């Protein structure tokens, strides 16, 4: 007899129970994707929003190369000027005792030095040559050579014959002739009216050590305060190079 009941009847399971299970499974499977969809639908939306915001946020991120922050300048350095080229290789130097033409010289700190003697000068033959402390000699600067004072230092030189005084920077050694105590640059000699006679009686007084990379403000400001000086007044704190003109040399004090 043919079985017209179908597979369900052959399995021997009542139709209503299996149908209920099938319905439950279908409902469960149908509900799971729906639930997952509801969950993941919100996640991609948030992820999409983040992916949309990321390109917009990138331009406001400043890389270190784009940050330009000037370094703070110490107050003590703000008024400094560019060092003179010929002083860039200079060294602080006192030196050891040395002998020249049978005479011994003993370099020492300059505090308390105050001597009188004869001044001479040196000029074009030494222009551009190295000084004893490594600087380059410039005959247009207010500099001088001394046998024993520390380098570089400032000294006040007064021509005792005419009363003129200037400040010079000691950066070289010499002179070595008897009775001479200082060798002036050409300009220093002109200001003290020494170039015509070649020598003059002077008083040399130590003031203090000079900065290695200093310009000539100290020397020029001292000079500008002298009543006999008729050269240009120093108005700029950044003075560089030799003065264009200075008072012509005279044989008598003014």
Of residues 170, 145, 152, 160, the one with CA closest to residue 194: 160
User: Which token pair is 223?
Assistant: 């000079």
pLDDT of residue 161: 94
Binned at pLDDT 50, 70 and 90, residue 11 comes out as very low
Ranges assigned E (strand) in the chain:
98-100, 103-105, 114-121, 143-145, 153-159, 165-172, 180-184, 200-209
Q: Residue 29: in which H helix or E strand, if any?
A: helix 15-57
Three-class DSSP category at 195: coil
% of the chain with per-residue pLDDT over 90: 51
Tell me the per-residue pLDDT of 98-133, one tens digit each, with 9 for 90 and over: 999 999 999 999 999 999 999 999 989 999 999 999
Chosen CATH of 85-224 out of 3.40.50.720, 2.40.128.50, 2.40.40.10, 2.40.30.260: 2.40.40.10
Tell me the per-residue pLDDT of 53-89, one tens digit each, with 9 for 90 and over: 445 555 554 444 444 444 443 433 333 445 578 888 8
Residue with more model confidence, 10 or 189: 189
* In the chain, domain spans: 85-224
Q: Give the residue-averaged pLDDT of 21-48.
A: 47
Binned at pLDDT 50, 70 and 90, residue 230 comes out as confident
pLDDT of residue 63: 47
Contacts of residue 91, defined as CB under 8 A and 6 or more positions apart, other chains included, come to 133, 134, 151, 212
Tell me the per-residue pLDDT of 170-207, one tens digit each, with 9 for 90 and over: 999 999 999 999 999 999 999 999 999 999 999 999 99
Rounded-to-10 torsion of CA 128, 111, 108, 169: 0
């Amino acid at each position: 007899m043919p079985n017209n009941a179908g597979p369900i009847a052959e399995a021997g399971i009542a139709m209503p129970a299996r149908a209920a299970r099938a319905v439950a499974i279908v409902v469960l499977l149908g509900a799971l994707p729906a639930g997952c969809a509801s969950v993941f639908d919100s996640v991609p939306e948030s992820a999409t929003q983040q992916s949309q915001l990321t390109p917009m946020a990138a331009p406001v991120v400043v890389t270190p190369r784009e940050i330009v922050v000037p370094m703070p300048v110490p107050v003590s350095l703000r008024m400094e000027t560019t060092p003179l080229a010929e002083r860039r290789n200079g060294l602080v130097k006192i030196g050891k005792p040395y002998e020249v033409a049978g005479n011994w010289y003993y370099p020492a700190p300059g505090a308390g030095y105050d001597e009188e003697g004869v001044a001479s000068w040196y000029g074009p033959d030494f222009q551009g040559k190295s000084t004893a402390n490594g600087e380059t000699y410039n005959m247009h600067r207010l500099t001088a050579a001394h046998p024993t004072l520390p380098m570089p230092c400032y000294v006040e030189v007064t021509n005792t014959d005419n009363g003129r005084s200037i400040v010079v920077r000691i950066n070289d050694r010499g002179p070595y002739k008897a009775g001479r105590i200082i060798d002036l640059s050409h300009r220093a000699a002109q200001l003290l009216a020494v170039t015509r006679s070649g020598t003059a009686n002077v008083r040399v007084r130590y003031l203090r050590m000079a900065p290695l990379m200093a310009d000539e403000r100290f020397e020029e400001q001292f000079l500008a305060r002298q009543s006999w000086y008729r050269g240009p007044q120093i108005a700029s704190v950044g003075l560089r190079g030799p003065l264009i003109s200075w008072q012509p040399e005279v044989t008598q004090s003014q």
